[in-house]
Chain A
Amino acid sequence: MIRDKGNFISAACLAVFGIYVISVAARLDYVSEVGPGPGFFPLWLGIGLVLFASGLMLASLSISRSKAKGESKSWKAAGRALAAWLALMVAIALLGSIGFAVSFIVLTMFLIVALDRRPTLLAVGVGIGLAVSFHLIFVVALDVSLPKAFWGF
């Protein structure tokens, strides 16, 4: 019986990943004319991954029930963190088309208004303030290039 779901699932994923590494490494040369080939090192890494992941799976079958309960509880708040991550990925996707400044302001507004339920005006102020600071420090002072839109920033 599985006592620690989190550990068991992560170990199972790592074991599958290890099998994938082995399968790719097996298609590469293990030995080349000059010595060990490109498949040599990843093959042993894959084997190590499968072995240790199997060990973790076995260990997760015997871990105490109380510990497992505590762990499942901590996942309840993950929704907010994942929403923030999705917002970050959307902002990254927009960097090429609307530039760093605007996509950063949009991201900041999402974090402050949607996730933190604070006034929109505050979010706009923080977003613009930080975007201007970044522009002054990195673009103007340090000559670092940032993704731009057609309007120039």
Chain B
Amino acid sequence: MEDLGNLLLGFSVALTPVNLFWCLVGVILGTMVGVLPGLGPAATIAMLLPLTLKMDHTTAIIALAGIFYGARYGGSTTSILLNIPGESSSVVTCLDGYQMARQGRAGAALGISAIASFVAGTVGVLGLMLVAPPLARFALRFAPPEYFALMVLGLAMVVFLAGESMVKALLALLVGLWIATIGTDLFTAESRFTFGQVKLLGGVDFIAATVGVFAIGEVMVNLESQGGAEIFKLAKGLRNLLPTLQDLKDCRFAFLNGSVIGFVVGALPGAGATVASFLSYGLEKAVSRHPEKFGTGVIEGVAAPEGANNADAGGALVPLLTLGIPGGNTTAILLGGLILWGYKPGPLLIQEHPELFWGLVASMYIGNVLLLVLNLPLVPLFAQILRLPYYVLYPLILGISIVGVYSVNNSLFDVWMMGLFGLLGYLMRKLDFPAAALILGMVLGDGLERALRQSLMMSQGDITILAARPISGTLLFFAAVILCLPVVRKVRSWRIEAIERES
């Protein structure tokens, strides 16, 4: 009852014309920066932060949060249409979203992405409202061994990304983990695998690698045939451009899965939306009645990760607002903003500044509705991009890729890296190595190594610390079960074959 009263207070704050206006500006800006590869919410919020100093603080946090969750949605557009992940958390969306676009279902993929983002975003806000303090306390129980176990669980998802060969998926994963080790060592500041290049000391830029592997690799494969491969079929009529009732029915579990995983993982500092999207995709495939179809254009394969990366925005605000701990780059900048405006994010923030917290919660409800209302009508318009002739589409993809990667650090070196990763992505496609496994390794490598080494420091070299603690032990058990799935399936198929032979 008290929460309801607080929420009403929040709505009275969020529904003022000025806050409503800045919420709209935030989600539009967020969607735009999400669409463009490279220009992420962290950079945009950092750029706009000085402008908010003269604004009312509640209005400012409403606008900045709008950019945060708007960008999570926007990242799916280029992933689905052009196989260019706008955000690192949209990499998984490429797997089925782009395949749906090739089959003439780009509109359905974009539509389900908007709906999943809306549902999961709303669940994320509900979670932020109802379980923020206890969840934040739970998240604090995550020490390095628990983070290590969480990363291993994330890596176990390689089972669901593997195509025909598990060995190839594991090799791609190991190469991804190795790429993550390039640069300066986390603890000793010693350089590793930099090949004498000063620019590699900071590691390989993630956006350069993903855009190279996915977008450039795809263009190269399509350019193999003269006149370009006929890559896209297009549905005719507006009705066929949007998800059907059957699609929505198929995605029921994906909405729930994406919402819960996205929110919980988002609440863990350092885990991030990318981990959440991989985990939810893996879970969706694991429980699916047709797991073999994932990667060929399955709508649940879009709904689950898109939901997860939006619910993550709500989750990420939990440790920020209740404990003053930022979970990632964007929330770190938001924390900076809160401190600049004179707030002390922590356990007392909700009590001392209810209008800020509840105004933000209510604005996120409104922002999610705005995102849906703004984006669903735009789906047919976005889908028209696929009507472009291939001799315009391919240079367009290459141009967006170059501009997107260059704009991250204004670095030509990153563009070179994108080109090299493009060749790697092409070779991986030709040799049937799953590119998503490589990216999974890159995403988790840094966190995995850090957590493993910190755990071993904690235990003075005793490796049993990784499995002995209740949360880490449980997570590792689930990872082991997932890793055993292919073996179980293989044994089952051998048994069925043997029975058939006998009969």
Q: Write the residues of chain A forming the contact surface with B, with a CB cutoff of 8 angstroms.
A: 6-7, 10-11, 14, 17, 21, 24, 28-29, 32, 34-38, 40-42, 45-46, 48-49, 52-53, 55-56, 59, 74-75, 77-78, 80-82, 84-85, 88-89, 91-92, 95-96, 100, 104, 107-108, 111-112, 115-118, 122-123, 126-127, 130-131, 134, 138, 142, 144-147
Contacts and interface: CB of A to CB of B under 8 A. Distances in A.
Nearest to B422: A85
Interface stretch (B94-102, B323-331, B401-409, B467-475): B401-409
A14 B171 contact: yes
User: Which of B171, B396, B433, B452 is most buried by chain A, counting CB atoms within 10 A of its CB?
Assistant: B171
B403 to A, nearest CB: 5
A34 B457 contact: yes
Interface of B: 36, 39, 165, 167-168, 170-171, 174-175, 177-178, 181, 185, 187-188, 190, 192-193, 216, 219-221, 223-228, 391-392, 394-396, 398-399, 402-403, 406-407, 410, 412, 415-416, 419, 422-423, 426-427, 430-431, 433, 449, 452-454, 456-457, 460-461
A137 B131 CA distance: 42
Contact of B167 (A56, A77, A80, A111): A56
A28 B192 contact: yes
Given A88-B419, A115-B226, A130 B399 contact: yes
A102 to B, nearest CB: 13
Contacts of A104: 395, 398-399, 402
Nearest to A135: B403
21 contacts: A10-B433, A21-B178, A28-B185, A34-B457, A37-B188, A38-B192, A41-B181, A46-B178, A49-B171, A56-B165, A56-B171, A77-B225, A81-B221, A84-B219, A84-B220, A85-B426, A111-B395, A116-B226, A142-B39, A144-B39, A144-B403
- Among A34, A41, A107, A115, the most chain B Cβ lie within 10 Å of the Cβ of A41
Given A21-B178, A80-B224, 7 more contacts: A10-B433, A29-B190, A35-B456, A40-B453, A45-B178, A107-B395, A144-B407
Contacts of A126: 391-392, 395
| CB-CB nearest 7 A-B residue pairs | A35-B457, A77-B224, A38-B185, A81-B220, A108-B395, A41-B449, A36-B453
Contacts of A80: 223-226
A112 B389 CA distance: 11
A147 B460 CA distance: 50
B187 to A, nearest CB: 7
